[in-house]
Structure 1
Amino acid sequence: MKIGIGLPNQVREMDPAVIPAWAARSEAAGFSSLGTVGRIAYPGLMDTVALAAAAGATSTIGLISNIMITPAWPAPLLAKEVAGIDAVSGHRLTLGIGLGGRPDDFVVEGLGPRGTGKRLDNDLEVYRSVWRGETADSTSNPLVPSGTREVPVIVGGMAPASFERMVRWGEGYVTPSVPAAMAGQLFDAARTAWKDGGREGSPRLVAIAYFVLGDEAQGRANVRDYYSSAGEELVAIVDGAICAGPDAVRAAVEAYAELGADELILNPTLADIDEVARLADAVL
C-alpha cells in the first residue's frame, strides 16, 4: 500500500506560502502523493491553487484531490483548470470528485446545491469532451492544447449513485474521513459495483485519514471547526477517526493495508510544516 500526505490547504487561516515547501519536503521524504481537501466557503486555499503550487514545487510525487466539490464549478472552466494542472505537473494528477454536502459551498449563480448528482453526470461528459479537444458550443477553438490527456478520475460518496458513477467514469473510489471499519464497507461496495458493472480488474481504492503528531488539541479543534457546519454527528465521527500520535498513525496504516487499500492519504490537521518529517518518521 502506498502512503501519501495531504496538503494543509483547508486548515483555518493557514499561510498559503507553506504549500510549495510542504510539497517539496513531502516528495523528498518519499510520500507517494500529495492530496487536497476541498471546500469553498472556508478561509483556506482553493484545491486547484494548492495542487498547482504543489505541481510547480515537485517533479515526481502524485497529486490527488480527495475530494473536489466539482458541481460547484462551471464544468468547462474546471475541465480547463484540471487539464492545466495535470499538464504542468507532467501528468501526475488524479481528479477525486464528489457532490459536496454543505449548501454554502455553492457560490456560483445558477450552480446551487440542488440537483448536483445530475449536474455532475453532465459535467463529466463535458470534462471528457474538453480533454479530447472538442470545441464548445460557444467557441470555435478547443479549450486545451492538443496532446491533453483524459485526467484519471476517482469518485467519492456513499450513495449508490456514487458507485454507479465510479463504474461509468472512474478508475476507482476514495473514502471519506471515517473509521477504517466503515471505510472497509465502502471498499466492498465499490468492488461489488465494479464487478457488477462489468469492469475488468479491480477499482483503485484510496483511503483518507486525518493525523496529528504535534499539538493534538489544536489539531482536533481545527478538524471540528472545518466540519462544524455539517452537523455534530459527522463531526464526532471524523474526530473519532483522527490518528493522534505515532502509534495511532501506524495502526491506521496497518488497518487500511489489511482492507486492501491501494493508497492511504494522511491529511494534516495542522499547517505546521514539521508535521511532514514527523509523519515520515512514523510511517516511512
Structure 2
Amino acid sequence: MSTRKPLFGVGVSTAVGEARETLRLAVEADRAGLDLFTVSDHPYFGARLDAYSIVGVALGRTTDISGLVSVTNLPSRPAPMLARTVTSLSALSGGRVVLGMGAGGLWDDIVRLGVPQLTPGAAIRALAEAITLVRALSGGGEPVTFDGEFYQVTALEPAPVPAPPVWTGSVGPKSLAVTGRLADGWIPGHAADWLSERYRTSRPVIDEAATAAGRDPRDIATIYNLPGVISPTPLTATRDARGRWVGGSVGQWVEELTGAVLEHDASGFVLFPVREPLTDVALGTWAREIVPAVREAVAAG
C-alpha cells in the first residue's frame, strides 16, 4: 500500500491564442488547492507559447502551486542552460518547480530548430547526462567541470539552489532504466494508467534499474496524465473496450483514483484535457470535489 501523499494537478493550454485563459486557469488551480499545473513543450510550433515562459509568468501570479513542463524537450534546451532556468525559477518561486525531462520524440519537428538529430540510443545517453549535469549545477558547492559525450562545462559555478525533483516521460527500456537510476518520478507515456499494459511492462524496468543502482524503487513516483470526462451522472462503463479510462461521475473518479493510490501505489494525477479545452466547471469539480474526496479517502486508508 502506498504511503505517499498523492499530488493532484491540471494541464493547461500552450496555445498562443489561449494565453490569458491559460494564466487565469493556473491562478484558479492555485486558489483551489491543486499541487501543480503542467504545460507541454513543443517549441517548433509557432502557434504554441514557450513552455518555460508560461511557467515563469504563472508562478509569478500564484502562491502555492508548482509548475511542470511535461516534459522538457531536451534537445532544444541544453542541459547547462536548463539548469540555470529551473534553479532560477525555483529561487523566484520558493521552490515551486518540478523538472520534467524527455529525450525528444518528434525528431522530424525538432530538427527544424536546427538541432542535430540523435539516434535513439544517443538521445537516451544525452538524457542521462543532462539529469546528472542539472543536479551537479544545483545546490552550491565547488565549480563543476563535466566532460561528457554531449555536454561539456569547465569550472562552472553551481547555483546555490537545490535541484528540483526530476520526472521523466520515459517510454523504451533504456530510457526507463535511466529513470530508475537517476530520476525522482515517471509520467507514463500516451496517458497510460495503472491498469495498462504499458505500466505493467514498464514499471518493473524502472524498479530493477533503481535496485541495481542502490536506490529504493519506492522513491520513484508514478504520476499519471488522465484524460477523461467528469460526467454529471455515473457512466455505465468507466473504461473503453481497450481498458482505457474514459471518466465518469465524481463518485466514480473518487473510487478509481483512491484505488489507484492504495492498491497500485499511484503518486499523483493530472487532469489532462485532450478533446476539449479545460473549462471552469471541469476544473472546479476536479479541484473542489474529486481531489478533496480522494485525499480524505487515502488518508483514511
Return the TM-score normalized by structure 2. 0.72
Q: Which residue of structure 1 lines up, in the alignment, with residue 234 of structure 2?
A: none
Q: Which residue of structure 1 lines up, in the alignment, with residue 215 of structure 2?
A: 199
Identity of aligned residues (%): 18
Deviates more, 1:272-281 or 1:20-29: 272-281
Deviation at 1:244, TM superposition (A): 6.1
Alignment of 1:203-218 (within 5 A): 203-213=220-230
User: Contact 1:7–1:268 (CA<8 Å) still a contact in 2?
Assistant: yes
**Paired residue type of 2:187:** V
Structure 2 CA distance for aligned equivalents of residues 179 and 108 of structure 1:
32
User: Contact 2:75–2:115 (CA<8 Å) still a contact in 1?
Assistant: no
Q: Which residue of structure 2 lines up, in the alignment, with residue 117 of structure 1?
A: 124
- Alpha-carbon RMSD across the aligned residues, in angstroms, is 3.1
Structure 1 CA distance for aligned equivalents of residues 179 and 153 of structure 2:
29
Q: Which residue of structure 1 lines up, in the alignment, with residue 12 of structure 2?
A: 8
Q: Quick check: 1:27 aligned with 2:30? A: yes
Return the TM-score normalized by structure 1. 0.76
Structure 1 CA distance for aligned equivalents of residues 55 and 246 of structure 2:
23
User: Contact 1:9–1:46 (CA<8 Å) still a contact in 2?
Assistant: no
Deviation at 1:139, TM superposition (A): 8.0
Alignment of 1:120-269 (within 5 A): 120-132=127-139, 134=143, 142=157, 146-176=159-189, 177-182=191-196, 184-185=199-200, 186-200=202-216, 202=218, 203-213=220-230, 241-243=245-247, 246=250, 249-250=253-254, 252-257=256-261, 258-269=263-274
Query: What SS class does the counterpart of residue 268 from structure 1 fall into?
Result: coil
User: Contact 2:223–2:266 (CA<8 Å) still a contact in 1?
Assistant: yes
Larger Rg: 2
Deviation at 1:113, TM superposition (A): 4.8
- Cα 1:51–1:196 change in 2 (3 A) is same
**Paired residue type of 1:68:** T
Residue from 79, 87, 97 that aligns with 2:83: 79
Alignment of 1:35-46 (within 5 A): 35-42=38-45, 43-46=47-50
Q: Deviations over 1:154-208 (max 9, x none)?
A: 2221222223212332123221212431254133433333223321361222222
Deviation at 1:213, TM superposition (A): 4.2
Structure 2 CA distance for aligned equivalents of residues 259 and 131 of structure 1:
33
- Cα 1:192–1:162 change in 2 (3 A) is same
Q: Deviations over 1:95-151 (max 9, x none)?
A: 121123212134432443533212222323332333255367778774x6x522122
User: Contact 1:6–1:267 (CA<8 Å) still a contact in 2?
Assistant: yes
Deviation at 1:266, TM superposition (A): 1.7
Q: Quick check: 1:279 aligned with 2:292? A: no
Q: Which residue of structure 1 lines up, in the alignment, with residue 21 of structure 2?
A: 18
Structure 2 CA distance for aligned equivalents of residues 13 and 21 of structure 1:
14
- Cα 1:194–1:22 change in 2 (3 A) is same
- Cα 1:106–1:8 change in 2 (3 A) is farther
Q: Quick check: 1:56 aligned with 2:69? A: no
User: Contact 1:71–1:123 (CA<8 Å) still a contact in 2?
Assistant: no
User: Contact 1:243–1:252 (CA<8 Å) still a contact in 2?
Assistant: no
Gaps of 5+ in 2: 146-151, 232-240, 293-301
Gaps of 5+ in 1: 215-235
Higher relative contact order (CA 8 A, sep 6+): 1
Q: Deviations over 1:237-273 (max 9, x none)?
A: 89x5453664664454245323111111222331434
**Paired residue type of 2:9:** I
- Cα 1:150–1:138 change in 2 (3 A) is closer
Q: Deviations over 1:202-235 (max 9, x none)?
A: 1222222123449xxxxxxxxxxxxxxxxxxxxx
